[in-house]
Chain A
Amino acid sequence: MTINSTSLAGIPPVAGPTAELVLRPTRVLRLPRSPKVIAGLVILGVFGVLAIIGRWIAPYSPNATDQQNWVRHVLVPGTGAGTGFPASYYPLPLPPSAAHWLGTTVFAQDVSSQLLAATQATMFVGLLAAAIATVLSVLFGVTAGYLGGGTDEGLSLVANVFLAIPGLPLLIVLADYMPSAGSSVLLVAAIIAVTTWAYTSRTLRAQTLSLRNRDFVEAARVSGESRVRIILVEVLPNLIPIVAASFLFTALSAMGAYVAIAFLGLAGSPTSSPPGLWNWGEMLREGFANNAVRGGWWWWWAPPGICIALLGTGLALLNFGIDEFINPRLRAAGLSRRTAKKAGISLRSTLGMTPVAHRRAVAIMPQVTAMRPEPSSVRNAAEPVLTIRGLSVDYGYGDQAVHAVVDCDLVLRRGKVLGLAGESGSGKTTLALAAIRLLRAPAVITGGEVLFHSKPISGEEPAGTIDMLSATEEQLRAIRWSEIAVVLQSSLNALNPVITIGAQFDDLLRGLARAGEVLGMVGMNAERLRSHAHELSGGMRQRAMIAMAIALEPQVMILDEPTTALDVVTQREILEELIGLRDRIGFATLFITHDLSLLVELADEIAVMYAGRLMERAPATSLFHAPRLPYTYGLLHCFPPLHGARLAMEGLKGSPPDLRDLPSGCAFHPRCAWAMPRCHQDVPTLAPLDGSAREVACWLHRGEANVPAELARPDPLPSGSGRSGSIARVGEP
């Protein structure tokens, strides 16, 4: 596979003079700016500030009490004057007032002061426990993962033992066993940390295991880096998001645990000896023990309860944010829905249905035009079966949209192979998959039309024309696979690993007799039906996929780099079989690849794509022997020949452009040796070249400039004789 080198970052060309020398500060953890994260940060910030400055803004000491003024004295019924009993009063807490923002307790203490003190203690214990647990888990997890072998087994065993210990019960037993322990926040934090570190440790171990085998760690080893430095400098920074997420998670559960044991009275109360600290759990315990709920004194028990809930929510929200950061898929899903709404596109699309937006209405074509079925013998081999006109596809919406495919026309003809060549990121896969509406949002079709002229090869279905872009889901489902089949580069991984190949054919064909026959057509033994996917080599799996694709005798076959992951010999065998099948079944083929040299041998017609546009379209031999487009010319000279003298070749300078930041005018002009002033300004469109069957999008051929000799070679003879020639290499006299 060729990796997409137009990566999402802005890339200046190699020789680009755009020196952007200002260094931007790095942010290792760049959280997505979603409302969730912001809310989480705000909540955490408020609590953090309160925890720090609480001591100074608290109106009173949390232990201060004023039995005279801070409670209401209520006469116990049946006592006092006239009853013969001495007047006896019981205290009632005061509701919130200016003097006591959150009222008082029955013990004549100020709730707000207690709450502020409790916030500090609770957060302190939570963060301390999380810090200890994180240090432990990083130490154990990363060491075990990186060193592997016996060390790994030993350390993992320790972690697993701790994992098996139920945390809270252990905490209760420990706190109860050492009554004074509860009063020491450090000890409480340590106990909580010891019971929570193991889970994170396992996650970190797994991550380190995968990082250890990454090439950059290997490269550091090759350059002689020491083991400690590799762990600290190369591996650990890559774990920061996970460490951060687990820190927050541990902090949350540590606070929960602290509150829980305090509520059970095991964390030492401020009145015990030695005294514990005020915390939310302790406040709740006191409240509940003294009828705060039944007495309706909500101001006593509600604030600590709300604090626990709020802080928990804040930490959880932040954790979601980190999750989205680690897992870009989640982020993309969230962002796209929002921006789609902003751009006014309703995304009610289902899986496997590319949404269509702002599309020009198709003028005359009704949805299904009934056509008289012709006998198959009369079928013209070169009649169009899939017509793509002016197709444009965006990724994203509104201002953020990336125009991946712009105004592309293609016609697939029966029994012909149309090759679509281009580098990664040029939009060739997007074009093909959008035409049959297989892409899912955020891909949006923004213009054009795709007509499928159906004339089933076998079967009872009526012939007709289907407008792919306005077809319903049902219509699409009816033609997909049975009439239009797709084989992707990754298809060999698309086989179900848990059932046999035969069972998967059975699903498709309802019967195994034909399955064996179809497998035979791609050079596989029918016995393979009993195999599972993992028992087959990559080539065999790709063959099985092709067999499935042809099983229903489709009219259109879309092959997207079907052999790129395979060895040359296997590739050649599969291509031979595909050509044979094409001749037998007569489907139209769209063959997508970056390997132009392969396409020249295989295709009848080749279309070259660059930066989302079709740039040249010509019969394969013409394109190879007499390219008209500078890009095609350059691309053809990127493949060293297998014969002749070895000569230095230059290939193409620069690298493919970033779709988000395309050059003005012709997107190829920064890499073009023959670029003219006009190329910097105007975008050339695909136009027929002086009456021939070929089309090219290049200003050089618009009659304004002298066409360079390299781009003006005579067209080869249309017969097969053209293939015997050789392209002139750069540097040849």
Chain B
Amino acid sequence: MKLGAAQTPTASTPVIPVLEGRELTKSFWVKQGRGLLAGKARVHAVESVSIRLDPGRVTALVGESGAGKTTVGRLLAKIIKPDGGEVLLDGRPAPPGRPRAYAAQVQMVFQDPFASLNPVHRVRHHLVRPLQIHHMASGDLEAAVDELLRRVALKPPAHFAAKFPHELSGGQRQRVAIARGLAVRPRVLIADEPVSMLDVSIRLGVLNLLADLRDRENLAILYVTHDIASARYLADTIMVMYAGQLVEAAPSVSLTDRPAHPYTQLLLAAAPDPDRAERPALAAHGAPPSLLAPPSGCRFHPRCPYVMEICKRQVPPSVAVASDHSAACWLHVDPNERRVNETGLPATTTARDLLDQRN
């Protein structure tokens, strides 16, 4: 297995992403108050998130719970409809609704393998149904099921096909769930926290399976996770979300080695890391904001240790801090340009000054 084998698509060879989300925006309405006076409040779950999935690459979406990463995954799987923005399949707008043709291209793996398999059906049923729905196996269903189970390393296949979900361990169940996703030979797999419910010792096995599928079958994978270390291990590109917005995107090693956004830095500092010489001092505290009334300007500004006046008022633009490394942070905007935006307030520190202190 090779990790990170796939190269970043460069400008000279433009690759059309298999699946692309442009400026995706989604709000949910929740009830507030009780009884007759109950009103509805709007939760800004995802705000103009653009994301691309390329064949043979794993893109990780990292963030805390409530950051909107699962919502992005579900928008791309077209389980829910975006309020704004569009989903492009092979560069063309995906058809409205969720037709079967779309299901044949984009599949999803859920977080909890204990809930995503129907307890009353055998493994075989879970694998046969997608094949039947999409008329994939014209004839020998058994052979197709065997083949699928072999692809996710469940051997002997006949043994596992006859099992009920409760007879399998967590890792085996998640493999079955992945096999179900692969049944229709999709080109995109959206994996929503596929290992977070699994035992530590079997997580790597599932991650390696995903890496293997990417390499062997040229699958485009979206890996949604809260664990930045596993994202670094598996993904080619990491995108960090905070409070419904993308804050940083970069190839995984450069993002974890040289984080450009203060939130990414916080996330990395907080992650368990036994290699660290001493316990990290967190630069920021507090919790993510309520998405009912997100903070103005940059949503991270109430927690940001480098907060400036402009951060409170204006949404930061996405800035390229290196080639294919972008961060949505005012620190990386040229001070002069920032001053123009800031209407009169002088910028005293530069981004590099601040970030060099940290690294």
* Chain A interface residues (CB < 8 Å from chain B): 1-3, 5-11, 14-15, 19-21, 23, 26, 28, 214-216, 218-225, 233-234, 237-238, 240, 423-424, 523, 537, 539-540, 567-573, 576, 579, 594-598, 600-601, 624, 634-635, 638-643, 646-653, 655-656, 671, 720, 723-727
Contacts and interface: CB of A to CB of B under 8 A. Distances in A.
Nearest to B184: A223
A424 B200 CA distance: 9
Contacts of A597: 272-274
B27 interface: no
Contact of A641 (B156, B183, B275): B275
Given A639-B229, A642-B268, A219 B280 contact: no
B110 interface: yes
Given A215-B116, A224-B133, A648-B1, A638 B203 contact: yes
Contacts of B208: 648-651
Nearest to B117: A216
Specify which of B156, B166, B183, B284 lies most central, judged by the most chain A CB atoms within 10 Å of its CB. B156
Contact of B202 (A5, A595, A647, A723): A5
| Interface of B (DSSP majority class) | loop
B233 A572 contact: no
B140 interface: no
Contact of B200 (A15, A567, A595): A595
Contact of A567 (B65, B112, B171): B65
Nearest to A565: B65
B279 interface: yes
A221 B79 contact: yes
A595 B274 CA distance: 11
A723 B287 contact: no
B103 interface: yes
A646 B233 contact: yes
Interface string B262-302: 00001111111111111110101101100000000000000
Interface in B192-251: 197-205, 208, 211, 226, 228-230, 232-233
B129 interface: yes
Given A214-B115, A220-B118, 7 more contacts: A5-B202, A216-B117, A568-B270, A573-B270, A579-B279, A638-B204, A651-B208
Contacts of B64: 567-569
Contacts of B108: 219, 222
11 contacts: A6-B169, A7-B170, A14-B155, A569-B267, A570-B287, A600-B274, A641-B229, A641-B273, A642-B256, A642-B275, A655-B170
B118 A655 contact: no
A667 to B, nearest CB: 13
Given A601-B279, A724-B277, A5 B270 contact: no
B166 A7 contact: yes
Contacts of A639: 200, 229, 272, 274
B164 interface: yes
B25 interface: no
A635 B233 CA distance: 16
A453 B43 CA distance: 53
Contacts of B229: 639-642
Contact of A655 (B169, B204, B232): B169
Interface string B45-73: 00000000000000000001100000000
Contacts of B257: 643
Contacts of A595: 200, 272
Contacts of B117: 216, 219
Contacts of A647: 3
Contacts of A598: 272
Contacts of B116: 215-216, 218-219
Contacts, number: 239
A23 B275 contact: no
Interface in B114-131: 114-122, 129-130
Specify which of B118, B205, B230 lies most central, judged by the most chain A CB atoms within 10 Å of its CB. B118
B204 A651 contact: yes
Given A3-B170, A223-B133, A234 B118 contact: yes
B115 A594 contact: no
| Interface of A (DSSP majority class) | loop
Nearest to B119: A238
B129 A223 contact: yes
A216 B278 CA distance: 44
A11 B199 CA distance: 15
A221 B133 CA distance: 11
Q: How large is the interface on B (under 10, 10 to 19, 20 to 34, 35 or more residues)?
A: 35 or more
Specify which of B112, B114, B120, B268 lies most central, judged by the most chain A CB atoms within 10 Å of its CB. B120
B158 interface: yes
A721 B180 CA distance: 49
Interface of B: 1-4, 64-65, 77, 79, 98, 100, 103-104, 107-108, 110-112, 114-122, 129-130, 133-134, 153-156, 158-159, 162, 164, 166-172, 177, 180, 183-184, 197-205, 208, 211, 226, 228-230, 232-233, 252-253, 256-257, 266-280, 282, 284-285, 287-288
Contacts of B169: 5-7, 11, 655-656
A598 B200 CA distance: 12
Contacts of A571: 270
A1 B201 contact: no
A649 B233 contact: yes
Nearest to A724: B277
Contact of B153 (A14, A237, A523, A648): A14
A223 B288 CA distance: 34
A238 B118 contact: yes
A467 to B, nearest CB: 35
A11 B79 CA distance: 33
Contacts of A537: 287
Contacts of B110: 215, 218-219
Nearest to B122: A26
Contacts of A8: 166
A54 to B, nearest CB: 37
A576 B280 CA distance: 10
Nearest to A721: B277
B200 A423 contact: yes
A597 B274 CA distance: 6
Contacts of B275: 641-643, 725-727
Nearest to B173: A5
Contacts of B211: 648
Contacts of B287: 537, 539-540, 567, 569-570
B200 A638 contact: yes
Contact of B162 (A23, A237, A725): A23
Given A5-B171, A222-B77, A224-B134, A568 B271 contact: yes
Which 7 A-B residue pairs are closest in the complex by CB-CB distance? A651-B204, A640-B233, A5-B170, A224-B103, A215-B116, A600-B274, A572-B270
Specify which of A5, A424, A537 lies most central, judged by the most chain B CB atoms within 10 Å of its CB. A5
Nearest to B211: A648
Contacts of A224: 98, 100, 103-104, 130, 133-134, 184
A423 B155 contact: no
A655 B201 contact: yes
A635 to B, nearest CB: 6
A163 B162 CA distance: 43
A423 B112 contact: no
Contacts of A646: 3-4, 232-233, 252-253
A605 to B, nearest CB: 15
Nearest to B106: A222
B129 A225 contact: yes
B159 A21 contact: yes
A14 B208 CA distance: 15
A501 B327 CA distance: 40
A572 B281 CA distance: 9
A640 B230 contact: yes
A723 B115 contact: no
Contacts of A723: 276-278
A249 B302 CA distance: 58
A240 B115 CA distance: 18
B167 A10 contact: yes
